[in-house]
Amino acid sequence: MSIQLSSTDFPADLPADLPAALPADLQAEHLISPPPQAGPSGPPVRLGILASGSGSNFEAIAQAIAQGQLNATIAVLIYNNPGAGVVARGNRHNIPSLLLNHRDYDSREALDAKIVASLQAHGVEWVVMAGWMRIVTPMLIDAFAERMINIHPSLLPSFKGLGAIDQALASGVTIAGCTVHLVTAEMDSGPVLMQAAVPILPGDTAESLHQRVQVQEHRILPGAIALAVNRARARLTETAPS
């Protein structure tokens, strides 16, 4: 049975270099659905992380693992931009990293084929796109069907694609947020695992709103990974021969 945690308890201690959390009156549990959970039950799940930038979501996953809130190991970190900040974070957590520069490949499919081979070589079970700024192809999606997770800075299905924060501000909506979902061939359209709502405050800029959305990304991503793996393992148990 999974342990249920409130949104204000998961993760218990956000990384010191991540944006400051929302005020307490904006951290009510109803802003996150479903509530984050610890886990998954059973053996630690082997994760492969894809990242392109500073790696704050990678950091949230690594810290959740270190604090015992996510029952997982990071088998490999794959990044595509030389000098990406995520590399230093991976080094601090003693995670093996691999540069696969998309500029060195003739097509998206060629890059994704190399990613698949690298993930499989490291025994990866689930893939997490933690700020992976590349469109993935069926080459990668099919290799990890229903075992790829992405996080997007909007309440999907609203504001898909690039510039989600700017899209939200331009639209005049009063609630923004973030979504963790399974990856399918259609961009930002896979089944939703978990969402967090973030009020848009008077005077918000793209930068200020992005910082608050990131806080919630770091809160829900580890719990959504646990939720997805728990669900998948439960289905396998239900369908296993008696």
Catalogue the active-site residues: 152
- Are 166 and 139 in contact, with CB atoms under 8 Å apart? no
Structure tokens at 110: 């060629």
Residue that the structure tokens 């021969």 belong to = 241
Count of alpha carbons within 13 Å of 28, Cβ hemisphere only?
Answer: 6
34 upstream amide cis, omega within 30 of 0 = yes
Q: How far is CA 138 from CA 75, 105, 150, 186, 206, in A?
A: 22, 16, 15, 10, 32
82-108: b or e for each residue (b if 16 or more CB lie within 10 Å)?
eebbbbebbeeeebebbebebeebeee
